[in-house]
Amino acid sequence: GDSVTQMEGPVTLSEEAFLTINCTYTATGYPSLFWYVQYPGEGLQLLLKATKADDKGSNKGFEATYRKETTSFHLEKGSVQVSDSAVYFCALSLYNFNKFYFGSGTKLNVKP
Amino acid sequence: DTGVSQDPRHKITKRGQNVTFRCDPISEHNRLYWYRQTLGQGPEFLTYFQNEAQLEKSRLLSDRFSAERPKGSFSTLEIQRTEQGDSAMYLCASSLEGSEAFFGQGTRLTVV
């Protein structure tokens, strides 16, 4: 079935370190891929998206490239800040965005 | 309109009681989704509406769960005869057809 697998956390980094959170997917069709972020006490917010192979989504210094050959959508940021501490969810959607499949989330802790 | 609104934010109920949650979507969005999120997991799809029509229900949505969107605007999710296993965060999201979902802050249900 359709699913998303992302690396387990927590991930602890020092400020200004490089971030990678791995995400791979299994899908029966051609999904759109997303990263959502959940800050403490808040709802999920869309961070970035990519709707077809080789697309790169980017926002707030975060980037992810839709790799069909490796079925991956890894999240990267060159220099993390304390304010990036949150839980990050990788997700996919098929069939005109009628529903989303989420990974289990990766908690990021950034220390000053 | 500042986003998707959910009420209440927190609900504690005794096992066997019925509970009802409300979701007010972004006003121009014709799609509305309900998800459930348990601790340490990503959101799991429950059901979605397009306007007032409920187009898909997950197997997770047992016969104790019912959702409505009577006028294609706000939605309610009712859980009858609550069980401890129903304790979770219930998330509502809305979208335009063919676009990404915007999430509310959720209703945290605790069944004691």
Q: What is the DSSP string of B5-72?
A: EEE-SEEEE-TT--EEEEEE--TT--EEEEEEE-TTS--EEEEEEETTEEEEE-TTS-TTEEEE-TTS
**Scanning the structure block, which residue is given the tokens 């989330």?**
A105
CA A18, CA A62: separation in Å to the nearest integer?
11
CB contact under 8 A, B101 and A97: yes
SS3 A93: strand
pLDDT given for residue A98 in this prediction: 72
Q: Looking at the predicted structure, is the pLDDT value of residue B1 above 80? A: no
pLDDT tens string B51-106: 999 998 998 888 999 999 998 899 999 999 999 999 999 999 999 887 888 999 99
Across the A:B interface, residue pairs with CB atoms under 8 Å apart total 57
Cβ pair A84, A24 in contact under 8 A:
no
pLDDT tens-digit readout, A33-73: 999 999 988 889 999 999 999 999 999 999 999 999 999 99
Residue A83 burial (C-beta neighbours within 10 Å; 0-12, 13-18, 19+) = exposed
User: Span A74-103, mean pLDDT?
Assistant: 91
The burial class, CB within 10 Å (0-12 / 13-18 / 19+), for B27 is exposed
Structure tokens of A44? 């999920």
Residue type, B35: Y
Identify all chain B residues contacting A99, using CB atoms and an 8 Å cutoff: 33, 45, 48, 56
To the nearest whole Å, the CA of B70 is away from the closest chain A CA by 19
Rg of chain A over CA atoms, in angstroms? 13
